[in-house]
């Protein structure tokens, strides 16, 4: 190989030598960074005392990743570069204190994928059987943080998650989005043409409704607790020669050794789920934040209008408004409101103060950095 205007030949061994030298430099620098993180842990322990030291700092991580993307010159893309730094920080944090992360299990769910996307690979995974168990695990201190699904771009909100915030003191300290690709899966010994039942989580079945109506109108759809559980059941059934299929993602198909009959069967190609990170601490401002509130309106004419008017007047941009039954009075409702900004930003603070005067209850569920990756 020769370069333009240059007669010097660049050989493969030369390039590999150069890569080896760069790798050695990167390795030294990563270890230098890791040693810094260890020092950070010592400072945190001295400043905060042994009890309740907060090692994980979502606002700082978001700032680091945003800066990585802003200064990136390529040829690696911004996201690719941020993913590398995501893992570097994950390793550094594990060196400070390994984080136990509870998520809606079993192993292989999209929620696990979200946990790994948000925290990196260096975590202790704690799969839970249900959303309220994730909340309990974090409340009890058995897990440092939890990850739960909150809304899907095709199917809307995950009611269980919203309802779990009612009686919980946990705070939302982050969000993460995952593109959801579904596959129709069977055990290797099963002929797909024989399939009589299709197992998956009810949300996943709904996200593939049109595809199932078209290609599998006669197979019975069976809702189970998660799509990974559906994959496990399909694998078990296959061992007994039963022609059962599952709808699940790539991780679950690999985990349970299933064969992909059809890939990417979701009805909407941009099918995305948003997950929340829940923890025990409030998160300081990161410079680009969102806030989530739970608001009980007074049962009187114009009550909702007066809540919304406050956002408009202070120029605070709402991103979501959900209504759920209040569970206290029949036909009473509570509202889940998300908006841009941090509860300590002046305008957001003013809105929250006004809502407290106008609503019967306002609970700040958390202010947290907008998802970076
Ligand atoms: O800055 C800190 O507080 C750190 O602990 C360092 C660090 C990092 O590796 O950059 C690690 C973990 C935190 O969640 C945030 C950042």
For a pocket test of ligand 1, which of 45, 57, 369 has the largest count of ligand atoms closer than 8 A to its C-beta? 57
* Cross-strand partners of 124: 100
* Tokens encoding 319: 């991103």
Q: Compute the Cα dihedral for 169, 173, 178, 183 and give only its sign.
A: negative
pLDDT tier at 334, thresholds 50, 70, 90: very high
Atom of ligand 1 nearest to the CA of 57: 14
Q: What is the residue range of 17's domain?
A: 1-32
Q: Which value does ipTM take for this structure?
A: 0.99
Q: Final residue of a domain: which of 279, 311, 334?
A: 279
> Does position 3 have pLDDT exceeding 70, yes or no?
no
Residue 203: CATH number of its domain: 3.40.190.10
- Binning the chain into helix, strand and coil, the percentages to the nearest 5 are 40, 25, 30
Same-domain pairing of 322 and 359:
yes
* Residue 334 within any structural domain of the chain: yes
Tens digits of per-residue pLDDT, 265-294? Answer: 999 989 999 999 999 999 999 999 999 999
Same-domain pairing of 358 and 297:
yes
% the chain with pLDDT above 70: 98
* Residue 86 within any structural domain of the chain: no
Same-domain pairing of 143 and 175:
yes
Same-domain pairing of 255 and 312:
no
> Does position 72 have pLDDT exceeding 60, yes or no?
yes
* Tokens encoding 300: 């009187």
Higher-pLDDT residue of 331, 205: 205
For a pocket test of ligand 1, which of 37, 55, 281 has the largest count of ligand atoms closer than 8 A to its C-beta? 37
Count structural domains, the chain.
Answer: 4
Atom of ligand 1 nearest to the CA of 55: 5
* Residue 144 within any structural domain of the chain: yes
* Residue 62 within any structural domain of the chain: no
Q: Of the ranges 236-240, 327-331, 348-352, 364-368, which one carries the lowest mean pLDDT score?
A: 327-331
Distance 100 CA to ligand 1 centre (A): 16
Q: Final residue of a domain: which of 232, 251, 279?
A: 279
pLDDT tier at 310, thresholds 50, 70, 90: very high
Residue 310: CATH number of its domain: 3.30.70.260
The average pLDDT across 303-330 equals 92
Q: Whose CA is closest to 149, among 105, 107, 119?
A: 105
> Does position 4 have pLDDT exceeding 60, yes or no?
no
Residues at CB less than 6 angstroms from ligand 1: 37, 40, 56-57, 60-61, 64, 89, 92-93, 96
For a pocket test of ligand 1, which of 61, 95, 122, 368 has the largest count of ligand atoms closer than 8 A to its C-beta? 61
Same-domain pairing of 210 and 246:
yes
Distance 178 CA to ligand 1 centre (A): 23
Same-domain pairing of 138 and 205:
no
pLDDT tier at 27, thresholds 50, 70, 90: very high
Predicted structure pTM score: 0.91
Distance 107 CA to ligand 1 centre (A): 27
* Residue 63 within any structural domain of the chain: no
* Residue 56 within any structural domain of the chain: no
Same-domain pairing of 212 and 246:
yes
Positions marked active-site: 273, 275
Tens digits of per-residue pLDDT, 130-146? Answer: 899 999 999 999 999 99
Same-domain pairing of 347 and 293:
yes
Query: What average pLDDT does the structure give for the chain?
Result: 94
> Does position 5 have pLDDT exceeding 70, yes or no?
no
The average pLDDT across 75-92 equals 98
| pLDDT attached to residue 269 | 87
* Residue 131 within any structural domain of the chain: yes
pLDDT tier at 58, thresholds 50, 70, 90: very high
d(CA 290, CA 272): 18
| pLDDT attached to residue 52 | 80
pLDDT tier at 7, thresholds 50, 70, 90: low
Nearest Cα residue to atom 11 of ligand 1:
93
% the chain with pLDDT above 90: 86
* Residue 327 within any structural domain of the chain: yes
């Amino acid at each position: 190989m020769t370069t333009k205007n240059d007669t010097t030949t660049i050989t493969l061994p030369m390039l590999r030598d150069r890569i080896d030298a760069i790798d050695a430099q990167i390795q030294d620098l990563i270890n230098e960074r890791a040693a810094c993180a260890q020092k950070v842990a010592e400072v945190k322990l001295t400043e905060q005392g042994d009890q309740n030291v907060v090692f994980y700092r979502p606002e700082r991580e978001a700032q680091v990743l945003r800066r990585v993307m802003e200064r990136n010159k390529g040829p690696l893309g911004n996201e690719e570069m941020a993913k590398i730094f995501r893992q570097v920080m994950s390793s550094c944090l594990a060196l400070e204190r390994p984080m136990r992360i509870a998520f809606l299990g079993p192993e292989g769910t999209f929620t696990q994928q979200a946990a790994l996307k948000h925290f990196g690979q260096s975590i202790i995974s704690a799969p839970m059987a249900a959303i309220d168990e994730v909340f309990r695990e974090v409340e009890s201190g058995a897990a440092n943080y939890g990850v739960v699904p909150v809304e899907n771009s095709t199917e809307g909100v995950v009611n269980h998650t919203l309802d779990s915030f009612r009686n919980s003191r946990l705070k939302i300290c982050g969000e993460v989005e995952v593109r959801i690709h579904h596959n129709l899966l069977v055990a290797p010994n099963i002929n797909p043409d024989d399939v009589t039942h299709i197992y998956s989580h009810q949300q996943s079945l709904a996200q593939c409704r049109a595809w199932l109506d078209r290609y599998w109108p006669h197979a019975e759809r069976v809702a189970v607790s998660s799509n990974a559980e559906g994959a496990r059941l399909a694998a078990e059934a296959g061992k007994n020669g039963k022609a059962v299929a599952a709808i699940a993602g790539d991780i679950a198909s690999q985990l349970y050794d299933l064969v992909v009959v059809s890939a990417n069967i979701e009805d909407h190609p941009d099918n995305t789920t948003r997950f929340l990170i829940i923890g025990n601490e409030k998160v300081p401002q990161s410079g680009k934040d969102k806030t989530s509130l739970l608001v009980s309106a007074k049962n009187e004419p114009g009550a909702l209008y007066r809540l919304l008017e406050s956002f408009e007047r202070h120029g605070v941009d709402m991103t979501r408004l959900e209504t759920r039954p209040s569970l206290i009075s029949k036909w009473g409702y509570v509202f889940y409101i998300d908006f841009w900004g941090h509860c300590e930003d002046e305008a957001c603070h003013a809105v929250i103060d006004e809502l407290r005067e106008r609503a019967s209850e306002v609970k700040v569920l958390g202010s947290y950095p907008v998802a970076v990756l």
